[in-house]
Amino acid sequence: MSTNLQNLLELNQPALAAFFAQVGEKPSSVKMRAKQTLKWLHQSQVTDFSAMTDIAKGTRETLAAHAEIRDLTVIRDSTASDGTRKWLFDVGSSAVDAVFIPEEGRGTLCISSQAGCALDCAFCSTGKQGFNRNLSTAEIIGQLRYADLTLKADLGIVGRTLDGVQPVTNVVMMGMGEPLANFEAVVPALELMLDDNAYGLSRRRVTVSTSGLVPQIDELAKRSPVALAVSLHAPTDALRDVLVPINKRYPISELLASCNRYLEFAPRDFITFEYVMLDGVNDQMEHAEALIKIARQVPCKLNLIPFNPFPNSEFKKSPREQILAFQRRLSDAGIVTTIRKTRGDDIDAACGQLAGQIKDRTRRTIAIHAARMANTLGEDA
């Protein structure tokens, strides 16, 4: 298809209404057309305009002349023995992934916002890979569209209705990339997740995870406040400067202040702080004591993530006893602290045919995605 065609998956409701106006639809009906089209795209997940049967034939012909529905291409689809499922998508020069974790009563999809990441956190394989490019809104929402459609097909469910059984009940932006560094593409994708004419998820069931871009946290509060997870990983600026280098620009005190500002708009009354447990680096009792002081400054829950090692990484996973002792200390201080469960561990076996580089990254990222999803959500999520 020609690249002049507008990919409709790129557009949230206002943008879709503007598109209809631009192609000559009457002003009085652009809003209705936008809603109808969203339903076809994100609830019935059609791939062809001819299937949009409640839209007049002439309008469908106009759509076909000016627009397209361009989905992501899947490179690999793997399922672990525990039901965790991962799709690897081709985004041109690179690949990104989405991971689905089914649990009793909910299904969480972890999606990517960038190919690679520029922020270079010391313990992160995505960061080590460097920045490739931002994903578009279509590529971000496309991960949800693809997963939703595929999982529904497996269950024999046709179409998405807001009151019916749905495989994806929660979305977390904890895959590859820093979502708030791709703000202008991420926000319309969030809006589509929330829109009742599209995926209709509540704000508390959509989580953005950030390494701590303070101005964008403030902006997100204004534009689309969803649940927020913050990758803290260290209780002092000296250590966080090393582990999460963006801390040099936005130190812990500024980050905590932005979390408190965010909570005025947030759909939940706490921030989730993520803390990767690195042996001998940030997992000692002195770190727990410092972390308690920080956690008392913001209504929060803490999620401890056992480090997932990768080739040439300079860190080791904290021993289990250390993680448990760390958790106990925080819990004793009254801070709700969870430890991630491991899911989808065996998927790397299914990735055997992939090229080595992708295989390695795949194995690492599934563990990371699974880690992030397992415990970051509130009990009522």
Determine which residue in the list 7, 13, 126, 272 makes contact with ligand SF4, applying CB under 6 A.
126
Instruction: Please choose, out of 52-60, 70-78, 120-128, 186-194, the segment that lies near ligand SF4 by the rule CB under 6 A.
Output: 120-128
Q: Which of 254, 250, 266, 344 is CA-nearest to residue 300? A: 266
Two structure tokens written together for 330: 């925080």
- Say which entry of ligand SF4, ligand SAH, none residue 148 contacts (CB below 5 to 8 A, set by partner kind): none
Instruction: Tell me which residue has its CB nearest to ligand SF4.
Output: 127
Among residues 18, 14, 12, which one has the least CA distance to residue 66? 18
Q: Are 282 and 235 in contact (CB under 8 A)?
A: yes
Q: What are phi and psi of 243, to 5 degrees?
A: -80, -40
172 contact, one of ligand SF4, ligand SAH, none, CB 5-8 Å limit per kind: none
SS3 content of the chain, % helix, strand, coil (to 5): 45, 20, 40
Give the residue with the Cβ less far from ligand SAH, 76 or 128. Answer: 128
> Least distance in Å: CB of 143 to ligand SF4?
16
CB of 276 to ligand SF4, least distance (A): 8
266 interacts with, out of ligand SF4, ligand SAH, none, CB within 5 to 8 A per kind = none
In this complex, which beta carbon is closest to ligand SF4, that of residue 38 or of residue 373? 373
Binding site for ligand SAH (CB under 6 A): 123-125, 174, 178, 209-211, 231, 274, 276, 305, 307-308, 310, 368, 371-372
Identify the residue among 127, 188, 306, 344 touching ligand SF4 (CB under 6 A).
Answer: 127
- Return the residue of 121, 186, 239, 305 that touches ligand SF4, per CB under 6 A: 121
CB of 24 to ligand SF4, least distance (A): 43
Which residue, 183, 83, 77, 201, is CA-closest to 140?
183
42 burial via Cβ count (<10 Å: 0-12, 13-18, 19+)? buried
User: Could you tell me the smallest distance in angstroms from the CB atom of residue 115 to ligand SAH?
Assistant: 13
Using CB under 6 A as the binding rule, whether residue 274 contacts ligand SF4 is answered as no
Exposure pattern of 218-230 as b/e (b: 16+ CB <10 Å)?
eebbebbbbbbbb
CA nearest 237: which of 261, 258, 212?
212
DSSP assignment, residue 103? E
279 residue type, one letter: D
Query: What distances in angstroms separate CA 310 from CA 84, 119, 132, 133, 361, one per listed residue?
Result: 20, 18, 20, 22, 9
Residue with tokens 């590859």: 176
- The listed partner (ligand SAH, ligand SF4, none) that binds 370, CB under 5 to 8 Å by sort, is none
Judged by CB under 6 A, how many residues of this single chain contact ligand SF4?
11
Nearest-angstrom CA–CA distance, 116 and 182? 12
Question: Pick from 10, 97, 139, 178: which binds ligand SF4 (CB under 6 A)?
Answer: 178
Based on the shown chain and the rule CB under 6 A, indicate whether residue 177 belongs to the binding site for ligand SF4: yes
Q: Could you say which of ligand SF4, ligand SAH, none residue 120 binds, taking C-beta under 5 to 8 angstroms by partner kind? A: ligand SF4
Considering only residues 110, 117, 194, 335, which one is a binding residue for ligand SF4 as defined by CB under 6 A?
117
| Inter-residue contact 92 to 83 (CB < 8 Å) | no
Asked if 211 interacts with ligand SF4 (CB under 6 A), we say yes
Interface residues with ligand SF4 (CB under 6 A)?
Answer: 117, 119-121, 124, 126-127, 177-178, 211, 231
